Amino acid sequence: MGPLNGIKVVEIGSIGPGPWCAMMLSDMGAEVLRIDRADHVGAQPDGARAIDFVNRRGRRSVAVDLKNPDGAEVVLRLVEQADALIEGSRPGVAERLGIGPEECLARNPRLVYGRMTGWGQEGPLAQVPGHDINYLALSGMLHAIGPEGRPVPPLNLVGDFGGGGMLLAFGIVAGVLEASRSGKGQVVDAAMVDGASLLGSMFHGLRQIDAWHDRRESNRLDGGAPFYGTYETSDGLWVAVAGNEPKFYAVLVEALGLSLDELPDQMDQSGWADTRKRFAEIFRTRTRQEWVTRLQALETCFSPVLTLDEALEHEHAVARSAFVPLDGVLQAAPAPRFGRTPGQLTLPAARPGEHTDEALRDWGFDANEIAKLATTHAIKQSQSTQ
């Protein structure tokens, strides 16, 4: 049933890191109830096929008009039974809707109120709009990522999902654990700019002791070192090497038909450009598969650079069932893996309002209340059967 079995979470619908956090909690067994906007019911012709439909797996959807006082009351009723709430609006929006921390904690003093924003709940940028790339830019991480010529956004992995959703999931679990001892809830302020800075703490530390150059492609881990990077093969594909440690580097050099004696010292940065050029010329003499055959079995930290499609079918992923079918597509399996209480995929992504009546009944609303709320347009049930 998952290690979070028995934990109940109310998720105020948002995009990006909020749904991803809720997905993490749901994968681990928490019962997460998503609150979608009532005006989104039927508005998406392809139903759950929104941009983040994978991130919306594992929970039911109730459609609520939060601008309707009766709709706000629905959320507060749900909060009374919940261990945590997730919301991802700009600071002050939840308060204006009547579902801010003060109102929710008044109903449930043990509630962990998780807030997901880009810049945090206070500070000069708190009300400024932004996306993943902006939070990375301000944290210093974007400056450090990419080729020498320009910074490159690493998809939206570092801000949205790692520095945002995962940070909030950790905060909620930590908050629920603390509340189980103290009997008191609290607000968790998860800002993506904070999370990106936290993920980059090693590099900030190295820079401040002059152990990291403030230029891209000039350090061991940013593509500057010839032994840690990617190389094109003769068939136009790519391989990745990470021979950081001297023992792995020595094996790599030998496998490339070179010797340590004919190369500069591994850590002599003045020789990195020439060594990289020699490595690149050699890697271009064989196909990617030929390099896999030659290097994969050696202890040299080597991997082929797989496409998204190839990654689904790689023998290691298949052996570990790393991708499992749900909602018509292969999706990443729950992680991390628990030996006794493993996480699991349950429901596919829900259409907005797909479970309004059913879920409200399960959370203690009677039929008359549900009918009245529908009459006042505080809630809406999706009628689609697709």
Using CA atoms, how far apart are residues 227 and 132, in angstroms rounded to an integer? 30
- Identify whether 216 is part of a domain: no
CATH code, domain carrying 302: 3.30.1540.10
Q: Which residue has the tokens 């991390």?
A: 336
N-to-C CA span, the chain: 28
Count of C-beta atoms within a 10 Å radius of residue 174: 12
Mean pLDDT by groups of 10 residues along the chain of 386 residues = 96 95 98 96 63 91 97 98 97 97 98 98 96 97 96 95 97 98 98 97 97 96 97 98 97 97 96 97 98 96 98 97 94 97 95 96 97 97 71
Q: pLDDT per residue over 40-63, tens digit each?
A: 998 765 544 567 889 999 999 999
Q: What is the pLDDT of residue 48?
A: 47
Structural domain harbouring 148: 8-199+324-380
Q: Would 342 be classed as within a structural domain?
A: yes
The DSSP string of 141-204 is HHHHSS-TTS----TTIIIIIIIIIIHHHHHHHHHHHHHHHHS--EEEEEEHHHHHHHHTHHHH
Residues 12 and 43 in one domain: yes
> Could you tell me if 307 and 244 lie in one domain?
yes
| Other CB atoms within 10 Å distance of the CB of residue 89 | 19
Q: Residue 243 domain-assigned?
A: yes
According to the model, what pLDDT value does residue 262 have?
95
What pTM did the predictor assign? 0.94
Burial class (CB within 10 angstroms; exposed 0-12, middle 13-18, buried 19+) of 238: middle
Residue 132 lies in a domain: yes
pLDDT reported for residue 47: 47
Query: Are the C-beta atoms of residues 41 and 66 closer than 8 Å to each other?
Result: no
Domain shared by 87 and 143, yes or no: yes
**How many domains does one find in the chain?**
2
Does 217 fall in a domain? no
Phi, psi of 94 (to 5 degrees): -60, -35
Number of residues assigned to the chain: 386
Alpha carbons 214 and 140: distance in angstroms, whole number: 10
Is 78 found in the same domain as 23? yes
What does the pLDDT read at residue 386? 41
Say what the pLDDT of residue 52 is: 83
* 102 and 19 fall within a common domain: yes
Cα–Cα distance, 66 to 36 (Å, whole number): 9
Instruction: Give the angle subtended at the CA of 223 by the CAs of 243 and 335, to the nearest 5°.
Output: 70
Same domain, 44 and 186: yes
Q: Catalytic residues, which ones? A: 131, 160
Q: Quick one: DSSP state of residue 340?
A: S
